[in-house]
Homo-oligomer: A and B are copies of this chain.
Amino acid sequence: MLDANLKRMFEARSVAVIGASADATRIGGRPVAMLRDKGYTGEIYPVNPKREEIQGLKAYPNIAAVPGSVDLAICAVPGQLVEDVVRQCADKGVAGTVIFAGGFAEVSDEGATQQARLSAIARETGMRLNGPNCMGFANFANKMTASFHPAFARDMPEGKIGLVSQSGAFGGLSAMMAVDRCVGFRHVLTTGNESDIGVADCLDYLVADAGTEVILLYIEGVRDGPALLDALARARQAGKPVVAVKLGRTEAGAKAAASHTSALAGADRIYDAVFSQFGVHRVNAIEEFFDLGASIAVGGLPEGDEVALVTVSGGVGVLMADDADARGLKVTPLPAATQAKFKKLVPYAGVNNPLDVTGQIINEPDLFEKAMRLVLEEGSYDTVVGFQGAALTQPGAVQPSLEMWDALRVAYPSKRFAIASLMPQDVQQLFEAQGIPAFREPTHATRAAAAGAHFKRVFRRGFTWAPDAPAAADPGTGPFTESAALDLLGAAGVPTMPHRIAHTPEEAAAAAEELGFPVVMKILSPDIVHKTDVGGVRLSLASSDAVQQAAEDMLASVAARVPDAQIDGVLLAPMISGGVETILGVHVDPVFGPAVMFGLGGIFVEVLQDVTFRMAPFDTDEALRMIDEIRGRPMLDGVRGAPAADIPALAEALAALSRFAVAHRDRLLSVDLNPFVVLPKGQGAMALDAVVEMKGSDGHD
């Protein structure tokens, strides 16, 4: 599945540095120095026509002169020379080339044209391109740095984290943070202008790379949405946690992002939908981003949502309980017998959960371990967080504490642990080196536990992603009348109200008899958008005579008011009463493609913008999660004595609509089902109106 050249490039056993410099501080010199000095064991080929030797290594006049095959070429030449070098690399059969130089699509139309020529070379030859205008990448497992960022010159501990960053500067910063915390990256991949390799390619690589256990994704603006969705689906199926920062979530941020990157933005709420659907955990600060990646890399994922809090401070225990609860962890009480046991040790201890050993810890330092062992032995917790106050600022306390935690970790291998304490950074590193995520801030311990539990929850549930459904039969370009739109959707499995078309008042009366009274009647015309304004809607018609008269009046009224409109007759449908009014729709995002929208009707949408999205297609389980996301969710359970609504029918309709959207993805512009009524439980749901727009259509009914 994974492109062979991509893998060859990111795991290169031979690297040519084109534009290699003898000066190890220059852009062309740094990669040579880092490859040579950081333990890389593959071949290094400096290329520079002016020198026989570079930094002690034999130099070659050009890439063609390099003996044997080259997996990776680092192109450190000025922009105007890039295209030639890239062609030479392709001719040589290089698997992939990194291009540092800027001056391409990020600066001008001319640059964009030059960049497009690079893309074409990649497309034609299969050689992969990273950049231009990028900071390159580093494979720390391979001790290979294909970058000039000084951060990569520092010693990276062995790691399990893969980072994909659209920002080169951020990639470098992250590497520094990793070194500071002593939690290593395995890969840092920055993408620059993405003439060829984009975020999705990098993600694909990390998903396929067995040594990468957690993925950090730093997105400014994705260029190929569907590819990202496919890659996220693979990460999800592989059970690899993805933590993401996506810029531009506010108006000011979106404006700044638009001026910073040439990529299409895509609506931020669509990103939220994507993240929710694919189980990506979104965060908004660098420290949280890296903290979650590091703590999952160190401690792994818990088996479930239950957390025990053991604390030397009652107050901090409450603080952690608040944070854990707010983030969806279950702060389950200790078993009563366990509570009683600890009460015997410390009569005034808080023993519910948190388990507060109290200030008595000063007199009996082993109380903390006793508390931890009780909780582990007798509770059914997935994660145990221990807060040890300032104890670990006393040097003598560190070694015993390390030993205690290690013994617990070994004794209870299925449990996850976290220690919070006002410890110095070097002590934090000692804990994390032995597999215990360590935090100075107590709520960051619960935050990490909650993120871990989130991923486990996501990975446990079913997941399907099948965007490549065969296209449906072409329904034509429309415009579609309400009747045609209802039929189109109905045929696709989206429940719609029963309806009949009549062309004369007599036909209308007969159709109404078939449907049963009372009925609603609407004018049917592709040219009339606002039917009410022209007398084109009649409600609650209770008899044949009433229907016939109403049809006569309506046809006359519309003919008089909109003489040029094409009239396809009238539409008749039973009056539906009761149920909860919702709105279903399809919105086609310019980056990601068709997304299904769901919201409650009326003020929920108009005043509260209480809507949610999912990328099409999805199944009913996903639809149910979607339904659960809206604030007005209780409306569907019945309020003010109303019966509970038929939520399974609603979920099936959403899933069917998502399949419809995908089957017509090449042509679909939008769908709007408003209202879509969800009847009481067992009675189903149905669209009472439908608007479908396809490309080529220039209006709607």
A: which residues have CB within 8 A of B?
102, 106-107, 150-151, 165-170, 172-173, 176-177, 180, 218, 220, 245, 247-253, 255-257, 259-261, 284-287, 312-319, 321-326, 331, 347-348, 350, 352-354, 356, 359, 389-390, 393, 422, 440-444, 603, 606-608, 631-632, 634-635, 639-640
Closest chain B CB from A405 CB (angstroms): 20
Residues of B near A177 (CB, < 8 A) are: 422
Residue pair B169, A440 in contact (C-beta under 8 Å): no
**Can you list 27 residue pairs at the A/B interface with Cβ under 8 Å?**
A169-B313, A169-B315, A173-B390, A176-B390, A220-B314, A247-B315, A248-B318, A249-B326, A250-B321, A253-B319, A253-B321, A256-B317, A256-B353, A260-B315, A261-B314, A284-B323, A284-B443, A285-B323, A285-B441, A285-B443, A286-B319, A286-B442, A287-B441, A287-B444, A603-B603, A606-B640, A607-B639
Contact B107 A318 (CB under 8 A): no
* Chain B residues closer than 8 Å to A321, beta-carbon distance: 250, 252-253, 255-256
Contact of A314 among B107, B151, B167, B393 (CB under 8 A): B167
Q: How far is the CB of A107 from chain B (nearest CB, A)?
A: 5
Nearest first, the 5 closest Cβ-Cβ pairs linking A and B are A253-B322, A167-B315, A250-B325, A169-B313, A252-B325
Measured in the bound complex, the distance between the Cα atoms of B150 and A172 in whole Å is 40
Report the separation of the CA atoms of residues A255 and B354 in the bound assembly, to the nearest whole angstrom.
10
Give CA–CA (A359, B260) in the complex, Å. 13
Q: Please tell me if the beta carbons of A176 and B352 are within 8 angstroms of each other in the complex.
A: no
| Nearest-CB residue, chain B, relative to A362 | B27
Residues of B within 8 A of A634 (CB): 607
Complex alpha-carbon distance, A249 and B320, angstroms: 11
- Neighbouring B residues of A166 by C-beta, 8 Å: 315
A313 contacts B251, CB within 8 Å?
no
CB pair A422 B390 closer than 8 Å: no
CB–CB B169/A318 < 8 A: no
Besides A168-B359, A256-B314, A256-B354, 13 other A-B contacts (C-beta < 8 A): A167-B315, A169-B316, A247-B318, A247-B319, A252-B321, A252-B324, A252-B331, A255-B352, A260-B350, A286-B443, A603-B603, A603-B639, A606-B640
Q: Known contacts A220-B315, A322-B253; is A169 also within 8 Å of B359 by CB?
A: yes
From the candidates B167, B249, B324, B347, name the one contacting A107 in the complex (CB within 8 A): B347
> Which residues of the partner chain B approach A286 to less than 8 Å between Cβ atoms?
316, 319, 441-443
- Knowing A220-B315, A359-B169 are in contact, say whether A249-B322 is a contact too (CB < 8 A): yes
Given contacts A169-B313, A253-B318, A350-B259, contact A390 B151 (CB under 8 A): yes
In the complex, A176→B603 CA distance in Å? 51
- On chain B, the residues within 8 Å of A324 by CB distance are 252
- In contact, B315 and A422 (Cβ under 8 angstroms): no
Give the complex CA separation of A285 and B327 in angstroms.
13
Please judge, given known A-B contacts A220-B318, A316-B170, A390-B172, whether A603 and B260 are in contact too, CB under 8 Å: no
Who on chain B is nearest to A257 by CB? Answer: B318
Given contacts A106-B348, A173-B390, A441-B286, contact A325 B607 (CB under 8 A): no
Give the docked Cα–Cα distance between A444 and B389 (Å).
Answer: 24
Known A170-B315, A390-B173; contact A256-B220, beta-carbon cutoff 8 A = no
A155 to B642, CA, bound (A): 66
A683 to chain B, nearest CB (A): 22
- What chain B residues lie within 8 Å of A319 (beta carbons)? 245, 247, 253, 284-286
A167-B176 Cα distance, complex, nearest whole Å:
36
Query: How far does the alpha carbon of A314 sit from the alpha carbon of B253 in the complex, in Å?
Result: 11
What chain B residues lie within 8 Å of A259 (beta carbons)?
350, 352
Q: Given A315-B167, A348-B107, is A322 in contact with B390 using a C-beta cutoff of 8 Å?
A: no
Give Cα A287 to B251, complex, Å: 28
Contact of A322 among B180, B248, B287 (CB under 8 A): B248
Residues B314 and A260 in contact, CB atoms below 8 Å apart: yes
B252 touches A313 (CB 8 A): no
Residue of B nearest to A167 (CB): B315
- Given A260-B315, A260-B356, A632-B607, decide whether A322 and B169 contact each other with a Cβ distance below 8 A: no
Report the Cα distance A322→B318, complex, angstroms.
31
Can you name the residue of chain B whose Cβ is closest to the Cβ of A394?
B150
Q: Which residue of B165, B169, B322, B352 is within 8 Å of A312 (Cβ)?
A: B169
Contact A318 B352 (CB under 8 A): no
CB distance from A220 to the nearest CB of B (A): 6
How far apart are A505's CB and chain B's nearest CB, in angstroms?
33
**Which B residues are in CB contact (< 8 Å) with A444?**
285, 287
Query: CA–CA, A315 to B261, complex, Å?
Result: 9
Q: In whole angstroms, what is the CA distance A260 to B169 when docked?
A: 47
Question: Chain B residues near A359 (CB, 8 Å)?
Answer: 102, 168-169
For the complex, give the distance between the alpha carbons of A347 and B107 in Å: 8
Contacts A220-B318, A286-B443, A322-B284 given; indicate if A639 touches B252 (C-beta within 8 A): no
Question: Residues of B contacting A252 with CB < 8 Å?
Answer: 321-322, 324-325, 331, 353
The complex places the Cα of A227 from the Cα of B301 at a distance, in Å, of 47
A109 to chain B, nearest CB (A): 13
Docked-complex contact B390 and A326, CB < 8 angstroms = no
In the complex, what residue of chain B is closest to A150 when comparing beta carbons? B390
In the complex, what residues of B have CB within 8 A of residue A441's CB? 285-287
Name the distance in Å between A467's Cβ and chain B's nearest Cβ: 29
Are A389 and B169 neighbours in the complex by a CB distance under 8 Å?
Answer: yes
* A639 neighbours in B (Cβ, 8 Å): 603, 606-607
With A and B bound together, what is the CA distance between A371 and B138 in angstroms?
32
Q: How far is the CB of A352 from chain B (nearest CB, A)?
A: 6
Complex-state Cα separation, A398 to B442, whole angstroms? 32
Rounded to whole Å, the gap between the CB of A53 and the closest CB of chain B is 27
Q: How far is the CA of A180 from the CA of B390 in the complex (A)?
A: 12
Closest to A149 in B: B390
Instruction: State A248–B356 Cα separation when bound (angstroms).
Output: 15
Q: Please indicate the chain B residues that have their CB under 8 angstroms from the CB of A165 in the complex.
A: 315
Partner of A315, one of B218, B353, B356: B218
Contacts of A422 in B (CB 8 A): 173, 176-177, 180
Taken together as a complex, chains A and B put the C-alpha atoms of A27 and B603 apart, in Å, by: 63
Contacts of A318 in B (CB 8 A): 220, 247-248, 253, 256-257, 260
**Cα-based distance from A359 to B132 in the complex (angstroms):** 14
**Residues of B contacting A356 in the complex (Cβ-Cβ under 8 angstroms):** 260
Q: Which residue of B lies closest to A606 (CB)?
A: B639
Task: Choose among A253, A284, A634 the residue with the greatest number of B CB atoms under 10 Å from its CB.
Answer: A253
Q: How far is the CA of A393 from the CA of B170 in the complex (A)?
A: 15
Q: What is the CA–CA distance of A325 and B284 in the complex, to the nearest angstrom?
A: 12
